[in-house]
Structure 1
Amino acid sequence: MWHRSRSARGVLLAVGVATAASATLTGCSSPATQAPKPSAAGGTGGALVVGVTSDPDTLFPWKATQFQAVNVLQNIYGTLTEFDKDLNTVPGLATSWKTSKDGRTLTFTLRDGVTFSDGSAFDSKDVKFSLDKIKDEATAAVASASLASVTSVDAPDPKTVVLHLSAPDAALPSNLAVVNMAILSSDDTEASLNTVPDGTGPFVLKNRVPSQSLTLARNDKYWGDDRPKLDGIEFRVIPDESSIVSAMQSGNVQLAVFDDPLVARTAEAARLTVAKTPQLSYHALQLNGRRGDLGDLNVRLAVQCAIDRKQVLDTAALGEGTVTGPITAPAFKSNPDQRPCPTRDLGKAAEYLGKAGKGSGVTIKTIVSQGSYSTSVNEAQNLKAQLAEAKINLDLEVLESGAYVDRWVAGDFDAAVALNGGRPDPDGMYSRYFTSTGNLNKVTGYSSPELDKLFAAGKATTDQNERKAIYDKVSAELENNAPWIWLFTSYTYTATTSQVQGFIPMANGSLQYLRTTAVN
């Protein structure tokens, strides 16, 4: 047995997105070294103001689904593994990991000298506590399905954690790299962390004014080689993206990430530097298969056939993107032409409605977020207009970002116009939604024995070709049953003023490279 002492808890420290390469799959051992650490050119110090359109709806990483919350929390908390700039899985709080020959044991060696922001030491007790709590259904962690293969977690000494698995899980190292799998102190609670975050990341919370700003300060005890150059970061809430551009012109904001291509063009015209980055995230019309008429496959297929995806892309995002199937990760990418009605077919849509006994039409109540991303309302209006021609009425309910997230997580909708974050590994993208035991299956209302088998098979092998073939079948199963209608992938546009150097945009939308950013 072993133990360690801790300092007092609850002290708030007030100190001083390129196309992704395919994800690295872990075989018997991890990379021997840390991720390549980009370095910022120019000076150090200074404060950066980032313009954002919404306030984070939570400060608890295990429940964060809103993009703005994730972007803040990934700079406060650490994970066992991380992604590098090309989305390869690399060491984080764990320096290495090793898989047993039978694939049923995964052993992590933890990093020395890491502390939480309250000054207490990080060790294996915190890892065991965190993974056990994420798995616990009562926690309602949004990524708990990523640990479905983990039967138990051991902490034999302070620097070693052993995960025992029910079956080999090739996706697990990648799945552990997202902030929803953040390692928390075993002495902290959800209630305390929603007020005072206590992480191991490069920054700490300094101040928050709800609906106005959230300010981070540099964590001088951060363990990484890429120690933050900035003294602090203020996330300033400015609800309109065009107003953020104006604030950048006046020098009040130095960095912002836009999803509206028209705003990006305005920023370029204002002589700001704009980096255009293809994203793994995807726009979709999500249908809840447990609600009303959508429980009928024929109704869902009618919706699928009645939509011209390119028209949605052209109308909402000025054609800045690509029509997509379910899987957007480059190593496993779906072919969007391999689906029922790869192009719009109103005759086929009418045929499907007739089979469902709904020849006179259907009405689908649809939630839409206003504020979390810029194209949502335009997408919804175009979808409504297209579907009306097929006697499918989208009854739109436009919600503030926080209210939308609450309804979405609860599965309290018939349909939802959504932008979902993508991941390098398809298991992390979809097993929590489309397996019978997935913790977010209530959001989709759809699973099948075939999908359960396919997702299990996809984790059981590390062979890249075998996994690609398996996830091609996953994609076909999803398209043929139309639980969601995948529309398009698009870009983020990172705008910076001339003072900002060293920030690296990522294809998963992460702002983790704020830790390498400098302001001259």
Structure 2
Amino acid sequence: MVFSSFVSVTRRAALGLTVAGVAVLAAQGHAFAAPKTSVTLGMAVEPGGLDPTIGAQVMIGQVTWQNVFEGLTTIDKDGKVVPLLAESWVVSPDGLTYTFKLRQGVKFHDGEAFDSSTAKFTLDRARGADSVNPQKRYFSTIDTVETPDAATLVLKLKQPTGSLLYWLGWPASVMVAPKTADNNKVTPVGTGPFKFVSWAKGSQVELAKNADYWNKAVSVTLDKASFRFIGDAQAQAAALKAGDVDAFPEFGAPELMDSFKGDARLVTVVGNTELKVVAGMNNATKPFNDKRVRQALMMAVDRATVIEGAWSGLGTAIGSHYTPNDPGYIDLTGTWPYDVEKAKALLADAGYGNGLTFTIKAPQMAYAQRSAQILQAMFAEIGVTMNIETTEFPAKWVSDVLKAANYEMTIVAHAEPMDLDIYARDPYYFNYKNPAFNEVLQKVQETADPAEQSKLYGEAQKILADDVPSLFLFVMPKLGVWDGKLKGLWENEPIPSNVLTDVHWVE
């Protein structure tokens, strides 16, 4: 009793001293404010849905990947594959059996348990005949999915697939629950550190901290996160300066980056991405079914001028569909160097000495419009007339170009890392067919040796650089602008994302 009374008196005295101390600090103007626990991120383009297992738009993953949804593996900020819902795995010596040990005690946001049956459902859904998964090919080598017990998942493959663990970390490979999968497009339910709250179409998506998140080793400090959609570059800058948004992880106007200099609150970051800007051609139709025409157009392009005019000089020229961040990268910009006279001669050799006319379907984004205008002027120098048709992205571009291949030329930034294989897909909007190229990519999957894979990636790059199924232009950097007190956003982007797990405020 004496000890208890002493504790009570001591607590009251301490409380009094604390209150008095805070009052003194407040009177002196030095009260300590608690760090913020909410964040508003700006995005230039609103996703058409929120389920990355049924939609190809990278904006989907930029909202939900690693935030709402999680996969068996994941890709960290350094681009490395690390465990997530699978805590470990064993690969058989022949590369045909993958045995995963799954985390236990993991639940979806609605309380449904995650286990091997859920993982089997997800993978069978992704690889099934009716699958609309944008990366369905990633699962094509899976022969059977077995569930010996709730914590064990066994994948038996038809052939070795050296990239499987990497692919399982992608947004398209996240785990979904049978009860909620059909509604994830508008009300996503995952296992991640944030729960979906609301989506005001045309305005913003709101997420809230998942208090029951399975990974107790992760300390999530944000209670709320909002993704606000602002398409106009001037409006993006104004929102940042006014504090209406805390960050634009992918700021869309390089010409405005200098306007933030001297701002005491905001910082600017220039990082690496996988955003490859290419002018894709329909290789199945005239005149682009003639390799000489494609090569001539490539020689008509001065990449340095394109980068300067389209993205204020902030970009890296590329000669194939590959970035300097990737293993086995080769600088192939000299394969078809800028040479107007040689371009004219090659065009004449292909039977177009009197020129030709075609239309480019260019999305409304600034980089695409500016690049198209610069290309238009360059092509005119070799007698080629290119008309520009602005095509709304994503909906119209996806329906006309990506799905229907109803186009002659287009221009877009491909954001997926290590996606050389898009030129081997059939069908795909390039309509490019080269068995030798496909064979090289097949060999990549047949080996798990990084050195051998890098060598093969080099061979694949050389084939594309020579064939020019697309005009390979430049890699866009990640231009970030955010509040200097906001920490934990990825400065580089090995995969399109806005991972919130480590994002926090400091005072």
Q: TM-score per shorter chain, which class?
A: 0.7 to 0.9
Query: How far 1:356 sits from its partner (Å)?
Result: 2.4
Q: Which residue of the partner structure matches residue 483 of structure 1? A: 469
Question: Which residue identity is paired with 1:472?
Answer: G
The normalised TM-score by structure 2 is 0.87
2:328 is the counterpart of 1:332: yes
| Aligned residues of 1:277 and 1:507 also touching (Cα < 8 A) | yes
Report the more deviating stretch, 261-270 or 377-386. 261-270
Cα deviation, 1:411-448, whole Å, max 9, x if unaligned, reads: 3322111101142xx3xx122x222xx26x42120122
Please state how far the C-alpha of 1:210 moved relative to its aligned partner.
0.6
From 34, 37, 46, the equivalent of 2:37 is 46
Letter in 1 for 2:212: K
Shift in CA distance, 364/85, structure 1 to aligned 2, threshold 3 Å? same
Taking only the aligned residue pairs, the percentage that are identical comes to 25
Letter matched to residue 430 of structure 1: L
| Match of residue 73 from structure 1 | 64
Question: Partner residue of 2:113?
Answer: 121
DSSP-derived class of the 1:214 partner? strand
Report if the CA contact (8 A) 1:323-1:336 is conserved. Answer: no
Deviation at 1:118, TM superposition (A): 1.3
Cα gap change, 1:393/1:157 in structure 2, threshold over 3 Å: closer, same or farther?
Answer: farther
Shift of the alpha carbon at 1:182?
1.3
Name which of 193, 201, 223 aligns with 2:214. 223
Matched residue, 2:501: 515
Structure 1 residues 406 and 228: CA distance shift in structure 2, 3 A: farther
Describe the superposition over 1:87-139 as per-residue Cα deviations: whole angstroms up to 9, x where unpaired. Answer: 11100111111110111111111111111111111111121121122122422
Tell me the residue number matched to 1:253: 245
> Where does 1:128-147 land on structure 2 (aligned, <5 Å)?
128-147=120-139
Residue 214 of structure 2 corresponds to residue 214 of structure 1: no
**Preserved contact between residue 363 and residue 392 of structure 1 (Cα < 8 Å):** yes
| Contact 1:89/1:173 (<8 A) preserved | yes
Cα 1:453–1:498 shift into 2, 3 Å? closer
Which entry has the higher C-alpha Rg, 1 or 2?
2
Question: 1:488 corresponds to which letter in structure 2?
Answer: F
Q: CA deviation at 1:269?
A: 4.0
Decide whether aligned partners of structure 1 residues 96 and 304 sit closer, same or farther in structure 2, where only a CA change above 3 A counts.
same
Post-superposition offset of 1:484: 1.0
In structure 2, the partner of 1:434 is 423
- CA deviation vs aligned residue, 1:434-491 (integer Å, no higher than 9, x gap): 22xx26x421201221122111111111222211111111011111111111111121
Say whether residues 1:379 and 2:371 are aligned partners.
yes
CA–CA separation in structure 2 for the residues paired with 1:227 and 1:394: 53
Q: How far did residue 391 of structure 1 move?
A: 2.1
Range with greater deviation from structure 2 (66-75 or 478-487): 66-75
Relative to structure 2, which stretch is displaced further, 76-85 or 253-262?
Answer: 253-262
Check the 8 A contact 1:109/1:161 in 2, yes or no.
Answer: yes
Deviations 1:202-236 (Å, cap 9, x if unpaired)? 21211111111111111122223324211111111
Q: CA deviation at 1:44?
A: 6.2
- 2: CA distance, partners of 1:383 / 1:68: 27
Name the residue aligned to 2:447.
461
CA distance in 2, matches of 1:442, 1:476: 20
Whose RCO is larger (CA < 8 A, sep 6+)?
Answer: 1
| 2:100 partner SS | strand
Distance (Å, rounded) in 1 between the aligned partners of 2:130 and 2:261:
48
Number of aligned residue pairs: 466
Gapped runs of 5+ residues in structure 2? 1-32
Q: Which residue of 2 aligns with 1:3?
A: none
Any gaps of 5 or more consecutive residues in structure 1?
1-41
Counterpart among 411, 436, 439 of residue 450 in structure 1: 436
Q: What's 2:399 paired with? A: 406
Helix, strand or coil: the match of 2:428? helix
Change in 2 beyond 3 A, CA 1:269/1:493: farther
Which deviates further from its counterpart, 149-158 or 107-116? 149-158
Partner of 2:302: 308
Distance 1:511 1:452 in 2: 29
Distance across 2 between alignment mates of 1:420 and 1:146: 17
Q: Point out the more displaced range, 504-513 or 295-304.
A: 504-513
Measure, in 2, the Cα distance between the counterparts of 1:170 and 1:462. 5
SS of equivalent residue, structure 2 residue 360 = strand
Aligned to 1:295: 289
Matched, 1:366 2:364: no
Q: Which range moves more in the overlay, 126-135 or 323-332?
A: 323-332
C-alpha distance in structure 2 between counterparts of 1:344 and 1:137, whole Å: 46
CA distance in 2, matches of 1:473, 1:101: 26
Contact 1:43–1:519, Cα closer than 8 Å, also in 2: no
SS at match of 1:390: coil
The 2-side partners of 1:489 and 1:510 are apart by: 14
